[in-house]
Chains A and B, each alone.
Chain A
Amino acid sequence: MTDATVQGGAPAPRGSIHSIDARTAKRNRAEKRFRTYGKIAIGIGLFFLVVLFASIIRSGAPAFTRTVVDVPFTLTQTQYEEAEGTLFKTKAYSDFFIAALDNQLREQGVEAEFDADTIERLLGKVGSTIREYYRANENQLGEEVSFSLATSSRVDGYLTGRVTRESMTDSRFLMAADLDLVDRLVEGEIITSEFNWPFITGADSGVDNPGGAGIGASVVGSFFMMLVVLFLSLPIGVAASIYLEEFAVQNRFTDLIEVNISNLAAVPSIVFGILGLAVFIQFMHLPQSAPLVGGLVLTLMTLPTIIISTRASLKAVPPSIREAALGIGASKMQTVFHHVLPLAMPGILTGTIIGLAQALGETAPLLLIGMVGFVARGYPDGFLQGFVEPNSAMPAQIYTWAARADVAFYDKAWGGIIILLIFLMIMNIVAVVLRRRFERRW
């Protein structure tokens, strides 16, 4: 017999096992708290995501509509000659337009008072637009022509609620009294909203005309940059990965390369901008603001990403494939290029697309090589010029708009972000589909 049974010293349990003692309850509460922290953290993260997207969509949507004033307009031969005879020709045209607009309003049964200055603030220089039209198309004289004139961005803002009567101050751009006319025009259904195609296809307009600014030219700039990135970083990245993964022996040189790649992946993007400025522009005198230079800088930046993902997909090809190829007499090079590389290709392409998407959204290096502040007023003249002519790129264009003092450009910046995100989304979806469709598991 042992002491334990003799003394029977263990204290009797103070309660039933069905009731939870204080200590266990505390531990359970701590468990629950800890779990809640996790849920809260995820909730906050997702909340930020939702807020971010909500604010992008809410603020960006106005960029995609524009308001136009539709006025049917007839100019007779005599009126034309009369107007061309006066000293202030555009003034004469503008007067004709005002008369036509007045008529139109009266037909709709709306009363409104306005003068030429109001029209200029709302619609810009109407007279010269009309004059240019008739000088180019004299055969339209006497015919009824419907002019769709875009209103100034402030009128857009008023109609979408960004500009209110309370918040605005009278300026040379828009006066409170002008808004009365806008209200009348809305009443008479002369102002209508339409999809803002010029925003998507147009070029930047310069500081004083937010309404006419478009992102099209910078999309083209980005496209040329991505071409450069694709055609340089894919072959170089794949070649480097093949060497490191399939041929390299462990020595100082390959160690050095490995260390360099992992460090370059973590170097801040602005440092690549400094490199581009110093090497490509200061030293090699390549043209500033050119998509070629932007593409070169972004290539150097994307290379580590592509190398890392390519190596991962090369590693995923099982050794049995290589052994089989070597076994039937293929050389090492033939094994890699005929068997391993094709099998790794889906993974490589996925990694490349994701790398390109990253490069497409990158802004900081572009600031330093002069892609910001440059007003891309038009499209490049041809394919080859597209690489060397100064142009902007999407993120750089968005930054340029965000940095301008005029609030009306903020809408454009948000709208540009929506377009940029659509491109990124498409690229990422393509990458995911590629991976789902072609990825092999061994």
Chain B
Amino acid sequence: MPVFWLILIVLAIAAAGFVVGRSRALSSAEGDARKLHSLPSFYGNNVVIKAIVPAFLVMIVWLLAQPLVVASSVSGLIPESAIPDNSSRGLVMAEVRRAADGLDAAVASGGMTEDFARNARADFNDVTERLQEAGAIVTSQVTQPVLRAAQRFRVLNATGKTLMSGAVIALSILGALWGIRETKAEFRARNTVETSIRMLLIAAASIAILTTVGIVLSLVFNTVEFFRLYPASDFFFGTTWSPSFSGRGGSSELGVLPLLWGTFYISIVALLVAVPIGLFSAIYLSEYASSRVRSVAKPMLEVLAGIPTIVYGLFALLTVGPLLLSVFGPNGLGWMQAGTAVMTAGLVMGIMLIPFVSSLSDDIINAVPQSMRDGSYGLGATQSETIRQVVLPAALPGIVGAILLASSRAIGETMIVVLGAGAAAKLDLNPFEAMTTVTAKIVSQLTGDADFASPEALVAFALGMTLFVITLGLNVFALYIVRKYREQYE
């Protein structure tokens, strides 16, 4: 039974429970709502909560746990001898999963009967051919242990699903009955309902923590796995990045330094574009511009922030790259070989960051109290002198924080560098050279054909970890600076 229908059934039980609970409460007070402890709908809601919450909790936990339980029990069915030398248990399990999916597809399309799918034996029947006919992706001949495991996998999954449906529906009905049973006129329904809603609110708020934990765990586990296969010192201090495409070859060199260099170089170019333009725009808009100019120019600049990064990426690849190439390329100054380069990506990323820098600085400059400006004017300073010597120093911590936040954005930006910066990892000083970044390599290592257990794919998690730590550090540092050096005005 699909999960969707299960959810609908539980909701239907809850709806019925609401009606029953409400009317039972009313009838227990002989139809006089004033004799009830709470409003009648609270009694209904009490039943609804008891019917839904435990059932859904069990369902979520079951959905999370079932793949693990099934995988570990099926994995035990594969004897050591069935694992080829250059392979691993994980790879064989992936094959088992594919075979099981293939069997499902074959049964669905009518290529096999359910009975055949359950009992076929690879050494007697033409299972592989039939699977391929049904459109399943079967890489090699399905061997008997794999097929047996796949059949077991299907059976376990099917029983698991049936059991889950049964358990969830039973739990939902039991919950509803419990709620209905305790419905009496003197039952404190409102307090119960409100406590449970409060719990749900807390649970929703904790999802932020869960997400962080999820990010950290998924990064840490895979990174540790990577360092088991590839020495950490080579990763952090290696100066060449050349993953081999063969997969399990030991010849990959996965040094992070060229990627970090590319990342920082592009970010620096981007900040050199964004900070002056953004800062001066903010100063002009907040100090000089009339309110009419401000009401037009500020939203227009902010449009730049609402444009998706894929658009900037395409802009870099197809407009800015060729444009720079025509000026600095072989037909011009001869500094540039191809349209994708540090300069291309940096320039476009700078454009993307302008509104980020300008609106953050704008807020900060506006927060400087007018009395400080008036004091400065009173001493005879011109407007620009006031800005440079009074307003900017007062706003400096905030502006530094804004720039740090912008650089953390630049370091984490993906689409512009994937499309605009090139693919070659180099340690070079020429800004017209193609270089690549941490984010671009995460994408290319995880979207290729390499299998998940190889260092070539796992390195992406180590890169992700590096990226996460750097951006997190920058953000925390930015907040720290803003808090520590903020002037307190009345």
Interface residues of chain A, those whose CB is within 8 Å of chain B, are: 27-28, 30-31, 33-35, 37-42, 44-46, 48-49, 51-52, 55-56, 59, 235-237, 239-240, 242-244, 247-248, 254, 256-257, 260-264, 266-272, 274-275, 277-279, 282-285, 300, 303-304, 307, 331-333, 357, 360-364, 367-368, 370, 372-373, 384, 395, 398-399, 402-403, 410, 413-414, 417, 420-421, 424, 428
Judge whether B156 is part of the interface by a CB distance below 8 angstroms.
no
Given that A38-B284, A240-B207, A260-B212 are contacting pairs, would A357 and B194 also be in contact in the complex, using a CB cutoff of 8 Å? Answer: no
Do the beta carbons of B301 and A420 come within 8 Å of each other? no
Residues of A within 8 A of B351 (CB): 48, 52
Do the beta carbons of A395 and B308 come within 8 Å of each other? yes
Given that A361-B310, A414-B314, A421-B311 are contacting pairs, would A267 and B205 also be in contact in the complex, using a CB cutoff of 8 Å? Answer: no
Give bound CA distance, A49 to B283, whole Å.
19
Judge whether B304 is part of the interface by a CB distance below 8 angstroms.
yes
Judge whether B190 is part of the interface by a CB distance below 8 angstroms.
yes
**Distance in Å from the Cβ of B335 to the closest Cβ of chain A?**
22
B interface, by DSSP: helix, strand, loop or mixed? Answer: helix
Residues of A within 8 A of B358 (CB): 45
Give bound CA distance, A283 to B279, whole Å.
45
Query: From residue 189 to 237 of chain B, which have CB atoms closer than 8 A to chain A?
Result: 190, 193-194, 197-198, 200-202, 204-209, 211-212, 214-215, 218-219, 221-222
Judge whether B468 is part of the interface by a CB distance below 8 angstroms.
yes
Judge whether B354 is part of the interface by a CB distance below 8 angstroms.
yes
Give bound CA distance, A95 to B8, whole Å.
59
- Can you sample 15 A-B contacts with CB below 8 Å? A28-B382, A31-B384, A33-B384, A38-B283, A42-B281, A236-B207, A239-B204, A239-B205, A244-B205, A271-B467, A272-B215, A278-B222, A279-B218, A362-B309, A364-B439
New A-B contacts (6) at CB < 8 Å, excluding given A270-B439, A367-B414? A46-B300, A52-B307, A274-B218, A285-B97, A307-B208, A364-B414
Do the beta carbons of A398 and B211 come within 8 Å of each other? no
Identify which of B73-81, B127-135, B324-332, B440-448 touches chain A. B440-448
Nearest 10 Cβ contacts at the A-B interface = A268-B412, A361-B308, A38-B284, A278-B218, A41-B280, A239-B204, A34-B384, A243-B201, A364-B414, A240-B205
Give bound CA distance, A112 to B69, whole Å.
72
Closest B residue to A365 by beta carbon equals B414
**Distance in Å from the Cβ of B191 to the closest Cβ of chain A?**
9
Residues of A within 8 A of B212 (CB): 260, 263-264
Give bound CA distance, A268 to B472, whole Å.
9
Given that A38-B280, A236-B204, A260-B209 are contacting pairs, would A49 and B311 also be in contact in the complex, using a CB cutoff of 8 Å? Answer: no
Interface residues of chain B, those whose CB is within 8 Å of chain A, are: 2, 4, 63-64, 67, 97, 190, 193-194, 197-198, 200-202, 204-209, 211-212, 214-215, 218-219, 221-222, 276-281, 283-285, 287-288, 297, 300-301, 303-304, 306-311, 313-315, 317-319, 351, 354-355, 358, 382-385, 387-388, 405, 408-409, 411-415, 418-419, 439, 442-443, 446-447, 452, 460-461, 464, 467-468, 471-472, 475-476, 479
Among B222, B284, B467, point to the contact of A268 (Cβ < 8 A): B467
Residues of A within 8 A of B280 (CB): 37-38, 40-42
Closest A residue to B318 by beta carbon equals A410
Give bound CA distance, A48 to B314, whole Å.
15
Residues of A within 8 A of B452 (CB): 282
Do the beta carbons of B439 and A268 come within 8 Å of each other? yes
Do the beta carbons of A303 and B211 come within 8 Å of each other? yes
Give bound CA distance, A413 to B468, whole Å.
31
Closest A residue to B293 by beta carbon equals A42
Do the beta carbons of A398 and B310 come within 8 Å of each other? yes
Give bound CA distance, A111 to B468, whole Å.
67
Residues of A within 8 A of B447 (CB): 367-368, 370, 372-373
**Distance in Å from the Cβ of A269 to the closest Cβ of chain B?**
7
**Distance in Å from the Cβ of A128 to the closest Cβ of chain B?**
24
Among A52, A261, A270, A368, point to the contact of B412 (Cβ < 8 A): A270
Closest A residue to B279 by beta carbon equals A41
Given that A268-B412, A268-B467, A373-B447 are contacting pairs, would A424 and B306 also be in contact in the complex, using a CB cutoff of 8 Å? Answer: yes
Do the beta carbons of B408 and A284 come within 8 Å of each other? no
Residues of B within 8 A of A52 (CB): 304, 307, 311, 315, 351
Do the beta carbons of B215 and A271 come within 8 Å of each other? yes
Do the beta carbons of B201 and A242 come within 8 Å of each other? yes
Name the residue among B63, B67, B418, B452 with the largest chain A CB count within 10 angstroms. Answer: B418
Residues of A within 8 A of B355 (CB): 45
Closest A residue to B470 by beta carbon equals A268
Do the beta carbons of B208 and A49 come within 8 Å of each other? no
Do the beta carbons of A239 and B285 come within 8 Å of each other? no
Residues of A within 8 A of B383 (CB): 31
Name the residue among B300, B413, B415, B475 with the largest chain A CB count within 10 angstroms. Answer: B415
Closest B residue to A359 by beta carbon equals B308
Residues of A within 8 A of B303 (CB): 49
A interface, by DSSP: helix, strand, loop or mixed? Answer: helix
**Distance in Å from the Cβ of B451 to the closest Cβ of chain A?**
12
**Distance in Å from the Cβ of A400 to the closest Cβ of chain B?**
11
Do the beta carbons of B211 and A264 come within 8 Å of each other? yes
Do the beta carbons of B205 and A41 come within 8 Å of each other? no
Give bound CA distance, A243 to B205, whole Å.
7
Do the beta carbons of B464 and A274 come within 8 Å of each other? yes
Give bound CA distance, A38 to B411, whole Å.
27
Do the beta carbons of A35 and B284 come within 8 Å of each other? yes
**Distance in Å from the Cβ of A228 to the closest Cβ of chain B?**
12
Give bound CA distance, A402 to B301, whole Å.
26
**Distance in Å from the Cβ of A244 to the closest Cβ of chain B?**
6
**Distance in Å from the Cβ of A194 to the closest Cβ of chain B?**
26
Do the beta carbons of B443 and A333 come within 8 Å of each other? no
Give bound CA distance, A35 to B207, whole Å.
48
**Distance in Å from the Cβ of B273 to the closest Cβ of chain A?**
9
Do the beta carbons of B208 and A304 come within 8 Å of each other? yes
**Distance in Å from the Cβ of B467 to the closest Cβ of chain A?**
6
Given that A45-B358, A395-B308, A413-B314 are contacting pairs, would A368 and B446 also be in contact in the complex, using a CB cutoff of 8 Å? Answer: yes
Given that A285-B97, A331-B190, A368-B447 are contacting pairs, would A271 and B308 also be in contact in the complex, using a CB cutoff of 8 Å? Answer: no
**Distance in Å from the Cβ of B446 to the closest Cβ of chain A?**
5
Do the beta carbons of B204 and A55 come within 8 Å of each other? no
Residues of B within 8 A of A48 (CB): 304, 351, 354
Given that A274-B442, A274-B460, A364-B443 are contacting pairs, would A402 and B211 also be in contact in the complex, using a CB cutoff of 8 Å? Answer: no
Give bound CA distance, A77 to B240, whole Å.
71
Residues of B within 8 A of A30 (CB): 382, 384-385
Among B190, B385, B446, point to the contact of A277 (Cβ < 8 A): B446
Do the beta carbons of A417 and B311 come within 8 Å of each other? yes
Give bound CA distance, A413 to B190, whole Å.
56
Do the beta carbons of B288 and A38 come within 8 Å of each other? yes
Closest A residue to B199 by beta carbon equals A243
Given that A270-B464, A271-B468 are contacting pairs, would A44 and B277 also be in contact in the complex, using a CB cutoff of 8 Å? Answer: yes
Give bound CA distance, A41 to B281, whole Å.
5
Residues of B within 8 A of A428 (CB): 306
Do the beta carbons of B208 and A363 come within 8 Å of each other? no
Do the beta carbons of B382 and A27 come within 8 Å of each other? yes
Among A248, A275, A333, point to the contact of B211 (Cβ < 8 A): A275
Give bound CA distance, A39 to B290, whole Å.
12
**Distance in Å from the Cβ of B2 to the closest Cβ of chain A?**
7
Give bound CA distance, A85 to B482, whole Å.
84
Give bound CA distance, A267 to B412, whole Å.
8
Residues of B within 8 A of A44 (CB): 277
Give bound CA distance, A239 to B200, whole Å.
8
Give bound CA distance, A242 to B199, whole Å.
12
Given that A27-B385, A266-B405 are contacting pairs, would A367 and B443 also be in contact in the complex, using a CB cutoff of 8 Å? Answer: yes
Residues of A within 8 A of B464 (CB): 270-271, 274
**Distance in Å from the Cβ of B310 to the closest Cβ of chain A?**
4
**Distance in Å from the Cβ of A286 to the closest Cβ of chain B?**
9
Do the beta carbons of B208 and A261 come within 8 Å of each other? yes
Give bound CA distance, A205 to B63, whole Å.
36
Closest A residue to B312 by beta carbon equals A52
Do the beta carbons of B215 and A45 come within 8 Å of each other? no
Give bound CA distance, A442 to B287, whole Å.
28
Residues of B within 8 A of A267 (CB): 215, 412, 468, 471-472
